[in-house]
A and B are shown apart, each in its own frame.
Chain A
C-alpha cells in the first residue's frame, strides 16, 4: 500500500520516515566528511537527490535506516573521498587549539573516546560508530559498509581490541 506522502520515484519511502531519520543521517554524513559541516550538508543533499530521483531505490530488503546510511556511505566513498582526504589534511595542518572551556567531565570523556575512534583504520572506525553510536547491529553495519557479515565482525573485534588498549586508562574510572 502506498503512503500518502510517499516519494514519487521511491514509493516505499515516505517523507515522514525520511524526516524521522534526518538528524541521525546528518550525524553519519558529518563523520563521513571529517566533521566539516558544509561538506556534510552537501553530502546529505546529494543523498536526497539520489533518493528523490529513484536512482537509489529502496525495495525493503533492509531497514530504511540501513539503506539511507548505505547511500550516504557510497556517495562519501566515491564523490567525496578526495574531498574528505583534503579536509583531513587541512584539519591536521591547522591543529585545533584546546578550548577555553573544556566542558564537563562527561564531555571530555566523550571527546577522548571519539578521538580514539577517529584514530582507527577506516573500516574499524565505521563499524564502531555504526554499532555504538548509531545503534545498528553488526549485520546492518556490514550492509552499510558493503562488506560481508564475517568481515564486519573481524573489523568490529579488532576495533574493540585496539580501543581497549588505547583507552586502558579510562578503565574503572567514572563507572
Chain B
C-alpha cells in the first residue's frame, strides 16, 4: 500500500494550533519570580532546619545522664598494697598419691524382689 498520500496530508493539514503564545518577556519574568520565590523558600527551609538541628543537639546534651563517677585511684592503690594473692597450690592433685576415683567402692547387690522389681 502506498502511504505517500498520508505523509502529504499530515504535512499539509497538521499545522500548529492557531493559539497565540503569551509574550516571551512576560513568561520569563514569571519564571524568574517563581525561581526567586523557590530560592527564598529553600533558604528559609534550610535556616529552619539548621535552627532545629542546633536546638535538638542542645536538648540532647542537656538531657544526657551524668557519667558514673570513676574509681578513686587512691583507694585502688591502697587495696593493691594491703592485699596479696597467691596462685592455687596442687595439694589436691594426684601427685599426693590419693585419688578419690581410683578405687570404686563395691556396692551391695539386691536380690530381694518386690512386685517384680529388685529393691
Give residues in A with beta carbon < 8 Å to B: 15, 18-19, 22-27, 30-31, 35, 37, 41, 44-46, 48-49, 52-53, 106, 109-110, 112-114, 117, 128-129, 132-134, 160-161, 163-164, 167, 170-172, 175
Contacts and interface: CB of A to CB of B under 8 A. Distances in A.
B13 interface: yes
A164 B17 contact: no
A163 B7 CA distance: 10
Contacts of B22: 26, 41, 44
A15 B25 CA distance: 10
B14 A48 contact: no
A41 B14 CA distance: 22
Nearest to B11: A132
Contacts of B3: 160-161, 164
B35 A171 contact: no
A19 B3 CA distance: 36
A170 B13 CA distance: 11
Contact of A23 (B5, B13, B21, B32): B21
